[in-house]
């Protein structure tokens, strides 16, 4: 029986092998922040340059008698449309770079990304909607 491939561990090892130029924790943190900004910029450009998606934001209105469990039925993402192929590719590439530096930060700090994801998943499963994020 073969052991299942652990994508997070493989990715984290690949980053460890290939993160050379920005190996200092300070470089990693600043590159992580930079790539996060690039994700945000790509999203904004999908709205303002391409127009494949729209953000139509306003105050979230909840009925007075709305229970906490029912909030999800009344709130909106404020997002309409769908990413076009080009914007999707750009966003996927930018998110990928962001994940690269997240894995690099985990490596530098001796953290296991897969373990972090599993622990957070357990927290969310345990607390459900009451995790308030």
State pLDDT tens for residues 39-93.
Answer: 999 999 999 999 999 999 999 888 889 887 788 888 888 999 999 999 999 999 9
Residue 14, pLDDT > 70, answer yes
Structure letter (DSSP) for residue 72: G
- Residues 23-27, mean pLDDT to the nearest whole number: 93
Q: Which domain holds residue 79?
A: 24-128
Q: How many domains does the chain have?
A: 1
Q: List Cβ neighbours of 132 (8 Å cut-off, separation of 6 or more).
A: none
């Amino acid at each position: 029986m073969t052991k299942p491939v652990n994508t997070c561990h493989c990715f984290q090892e690949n980053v460890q092998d290939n993160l050379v130029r920005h190996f200092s924790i300070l470089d990693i943190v600043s590159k992580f922040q930079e790539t996060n900004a690039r994700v945000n910029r790509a999203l904004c450009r999908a709205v303002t340059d391409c127009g494949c998606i729209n953000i139509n934001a306003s105050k979230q209105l909840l009925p007075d008698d709305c229970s906490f469990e029912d909030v999800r039925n009344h709130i909106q993402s404020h997002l309409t449309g769908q990413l076009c192929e080009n914007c999707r590719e750009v966003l996927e590439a930018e998110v990928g770079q962001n994940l690269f530096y997240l894995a690099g930060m985990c490596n530098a700090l001796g953290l296991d990304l897969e373990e972090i994801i599993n622990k957070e998943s357990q927290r969310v499963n345990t607390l459900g909607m009451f995790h308030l994020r």
